[in-house]
Structure 1
C-alpha cells in the first residue's frame, strides 16, 4: 500500500471519528475524561517511582507530592467521570480566557509590526469564545458536559481534512530519482 493511501485512510478515519464525537459529544467528553484519568494514574505512578530515585530530599518530596496529586486526580476522574468532565471543561474555559488575554497583551508588544492585528484578533476571539461558553454554561450547566466532545470532534475533523489534503499532495508530489529507484 503506498504512503499516500495510508495518509488518506488515516484522514478518513479521523473524519469519521470527528463526526462520531460531534454526534455524541457527551460520550466523547466522558471518553476524554476517562483517558485523561488513566494517563494521570500512569504518570502519577511513574512520578512516585521516580521520586524514590532522585537525589536530594527536596526533590524527593516534590516528586512524591506531584505523583500523589496526579494519582489522586487520575483516580478521581475515573471514579467520578461526570465531575471530572466538568472539571476538565472548566479548565479549558479558563485556558481559553487566559490564552486570549495573554495574546491581547502580547499583541501590544508587536504594535507596528505585521503580527499585531492577527495576534490581537486571535486573542479577542479566544476571549469571546470563553465568554460564549461561560454564558451558555451559566444558563445551561450541562452544556459543559458536551464541551470536550465538541472540541475533540472539531479537532479530529480539522486533522482528518488536513491528512486527506496531505495525502493528495504526497500522491501528486514530483518524485526524485532516488525515490523512483527504491520503489522499482
Structure 2
C-alpha cells in the first residue's frame, strides 16, 4: 500500500512540475517589481492589512450574533467594530498606517533581538550558541535601524513583502528542480 501512495505523490509532483516552474518564475518577477517600487509595495501591504482587518471585523460581528450569548456577544461585537475602524483607517490614512505598522514591526524586532541575545547567553554551554547570539544581534540591529530611519515607513514593509515573495518564487523553482531528480512513478513510465 505504501508504494501506491508514494507512486501517487511522485506522479502528482511530476504532473504539476510545470506549474511550480511557472509560479516560481512569476513570483520572482513580482518580487523584483515590488523591490523596485518599495513605496507601492508598502501601500499594497497597508491596503492588504486594511482588507484583512475589515474581513476580521465582519467575522467578529457575525460570530457575536450567531455564536455567542450574553455579555460575550457584545465584547465580540466591539472587537468587530474596532477591526472595521482599523481597516477603514488603513484605507483613509495609508501613510499614517504605514508609520504605525513599521513602528510596531521595529519594536517587535528590538524585543525579539533582546530575547534572542538573552537566550544565547543562557545556551552558552551548548554548541552553536553563537548563531543564536548572531541572530539576536542582527534582529536587534534591524529594529534599531528601522526606528532610527525617518523614511523607513515608506519602504520597510514593501521591502519585507518583496523579499518574501522573491524567496517564495525561488522556493518553487527549487522544488521544480528537485522534482526533476525524483524518479517517475510507475504510472508515468
TM-score tier after normalising by the smaller chain length: 0.7 to 0.9
Query: In structure 2, how many angstroms separate the alpha carbons of the residues matched to 1:106 and 1:58?
Result: 41
Q: What does residue 31 of structure 2 align with?
A: 18
Query: In structure 2, how many angstroms separate the alpha carbons of the residues matched to 1:169 and 1:11?
Result: 13
Contact kept, 8 Å, 1:107 with 1:115, in 2: the verdict is no
Q: Give the TM-score, by structure 2 length.
A: 0.85
Contact kept, 8 Å, 1:96 with 1:130, in 2: the verdict is yes
- Spell out the pairing of 1:69-148 with structure 2 (5 A cutoff): 69-137=82-150, 142-148=151-157
Query: In structure 1, how many angstroms separate the alpha carbons of the residues matched to 2:58 and 2:69?
Result: 20
Query: In structure 2, how many angstroms separate the alpha carbons of the residues matched to 1:102 and 1:57?
Result: 40
Which shows bigger deviation, 165-174 or 54-63? 54-63
Residue 4 in structure 1 maps to residue 4 in structure 2? no
Q: Give the TM-score, by structure 1 length.
A: 0.87
Q: How far has the Cα of 1:56 moved from its partner?
A: 4.6
Query: In structure 2, how many angstroms separate the alpha carbons of the residues matched to 1:105 and 1:61?
Result: 41
Q: How far has the Cα of 1:62 moved from its partner?
A: 2.6
Q: What does residue 180 of structure 1 align with?
A: 186
Contact kept, 8 Å, 2:102 with 2:152, in 1: the verdict is no
Residue 152 in structure 1 maps to residue 158 in structure 2? no
Runs (4+) of structure 1 moved beyond 4 Å? Answer: none
Q: How far has the Cα of 1:115 moved from its partner?
A: 4.6
Q: How far has the Cα of 1:27 moved from its partner?
A: 0.5
Q: Where do 5+ consecutive residues of structure 1 fail to align?
A: none
Aligned residue pairs, count? 176
Q: Where do 5+ consecutive residues of structure 2 fail to align?
A: 1-13
Query: In structure 2, how many angstroms separate the alpha carbons of the residues matched to 1:49 and 1:55?
Result: 10
Query: In structure 2, how many angstroms separate the alpha carbons of the residues matched to 1:109 and 1:53?
Result: 48
